[in-house]
Amino acid sequence: MRISGYTFIMEVGIVGGSGYGGTELLRLLVDHPDLEVAVVCAGSHAGGALATHTPSLAAAYPGVHYAPTEPERLAGLDVVFMAMPHGQSQHLVPDLVGSVGLVVDLAADFRLQDLASYEAWYGEAHHAPDLVASFTYGLVELGREALVGARAIAAPGCYPTAASLALWPFTRDGLVERSGIIIDASSGLSGAGRAPSDRLHFAHAHDDVVAYGLLNHRHTPEIEVNLGAEVLFTPHLVPMARGMEATCYARVSRSGPTTTDEALEILHAAYDDEPFVVVTDAPPSTKATLGSNLVHVTARVDPRTGWLVAMSTLDNLVKGAAGGAIQAANVALGLGETSGLPSTGLYP
């Protein structure tokens, strides 16, 4: 922490600063009044100029070079954001606990408190099991009070953020059945990360929509924990850079809404006081949330079939990753929850 005038500025480290999540953290933190980036680690790009690797950040970070991913470079910082591929942060976090003020992990390593569930869905035993319980789940709208004063945060996944915020007001109060929920969601290609692969090659992804992770996508248990319900989740990749849309189907319970107006009233009651959730009458669009930390949600009730349809859209790199992580860190640190976070989308 340093003093700038009469203001205490907290110093931030970013691990995985060359990936899409790390790059988005860098973009958003430029405008944060209380947080300042001090160290940017990127193992495979160590020594390289940030501006060369990501020219869009050249004016904001002139002269900054990526550092090796070494715990001693991060010691003493107020906040460290981990934006590494899944499975890597659990090897680094043990060296950071106690040496930094707050750790925020954007990967899935510490989201599931049930170690058996983690092993079943991720196919390996956890490498830091003793630290899992010390992490607080970071979806602010579902657990704001628990985040206050947290020292370790597991930021939620993009699909769980979209699906959970669409359905949570209904599952929370038993307004829909807690089994047989279907979630059909689509993500822009950036959700798969910056590393090149055949499925992200332009010739493969252009003019194509493809489902993946059928029946066993790793975000399924995270969604189920958030909703306290059984879900069948099917994600899709669509040919756009950013954006995510979730269409969720659930059977209305006996105490649930019988009309669309009632369903919308339930969403308004849950979210009208939330700074980053907008309840819309029309089906939400991904472009309306582009570049912002917003989630747009709506719902319909079909009296003919007895099904609720809940929908949401967000920017998978902002509210679904970096923005959601900063929002959770703001709450944990006692800062303004909206600090550094855009509440307007880019349009057109």
Give dist(CA 131, CA 113) in Å, integer: 10
Catalytic residue status for 248? no
The neighbouring-strand residues paired with 308 are 250, 301
Question: Which position among 77, 100, 150, 158 bears the catalytic label?
Answer: 158
Give the side-chain half-sphere CA count within 13 A for 124. Answer: 8
Give dist(CA 218, CA 231) in Å, integer: 12
Give dist(CA 41, CA 85) in Å, integer: 14
Of 101, 219, 85, the residue nearest 152 (C-alpha): 101
Between the alpha carbon of residue 15 and those of residues 70, 83, 127, 189, 210, the distances in Å are: 9, 6, 19, 22, 31
Give dist(CA 19, CA 101) in Å, integer: 23
Tokens of 4: 């700038």
List, as one string, the DSSP characters of 240-270.
Answer: SSS-EEEEEEEEB-TTS-SSHHHHHHHHHHH
Of 39, 47, 40, 38, the residue nearest 18 (C-alpha): 40
Angle at 34 (CA atoms; ends 30, 35), nearest 5 degrees = 55
Tokens of 193: 């990360």
Query: What angle, 0 to 180 degrees and rounded to 10, lies between the N-to-C axes of helices 323-333 and 140-147?
Result: 30
Point out the residues that are catalytic: 158
